[in-house]
Amino acid sequence: MPKRIDLDTNGGDSNDDLEKALRQLQRTQKRQPRSDADDKQQTREEVQDAVRELAEQQKVAAEARKRAPRPVWLIPVLIGAVVLVAIIIAVITLKPEPLPPPATTAQGAVSGFWRSLIDGKYEAATVYCPSMIDKYGSRKQAAERLRETFGQNPPVRLSQVGDPEELPDSSDLRISYEIYLRSGTPRNGDAIVSGSGGTYVIVAGI
């Protein structure tokens, strides 16, 4: 119920009484409680403000997660993985290739020697000509000598390996061969092959 406004009925200036009454009415209206509609509007605005604030907090948290540094333990793990891969590659790359088995025929010794040179396997070629190892002191030195001899113009094709021919007054065999060098020049020769215990090696003619 609206608060009653009392006017002075005992006389006096009616205009002053009216002004007093209006001021009292304004004060009364200011003190009156808010309506339900006002309360609902205020509640709606508060909810919207809360939702906006929550969304802003979530956005800030997401940005912080993006900028968060990687865990400290992850760096040494990555470095260790890279080092391990590098070691494996180095072992595979630097691991010496196994040498071929000795030749069991005279022709096999000649063809094995030249095919090794065609493939660029100079140490493998020394297996079929071990006298080079004795001459140059080691397999590596003998292989280096072959590289120096054939590196600039290596053989690229073995076109012919002849049948073994016995040498007079000797147990050694002669095997003719023909190869083609990178320059296109053919090279013919006779390799002298010696056999012992089922193994054949080149002793001369290369």
Phi, psi for residue 187 in degrees, rounded to 5: -135, 125
* Buried/exposed code over 119-158 (b: 16+ C-beta within 10 A; e: otherwise): eebbbbbbbbbbebbeebeebeebbeebbeebeeebbeeb
**Residue 5's pLDDT is what?**
44
**Residue 70's pLDDT is what?**
59
Domain ranges of the chain: 106-204
Q: Which residues of the chain have pLDDT under 70?
A: 1-44, 47, 50-51, 64-72, 74, 90-95
**Residue 3's pLDDT is what?**
47
**Residue 206's pLDDT is what?**
85
CATH 3.10.450 fits 106-204, yes or no: yes
- Rounded to a whole number, what is the distance in angstroms from the first to the last CA of the chain? 130
The identity of residue 100, as a single letter, is P
Query: What CA–CA distance (Å, rounded) separates 26 from 18?
Result: 12
CB 91 within 8 A of CB 187: no
**Residue 60's pLDDT is what?**
76
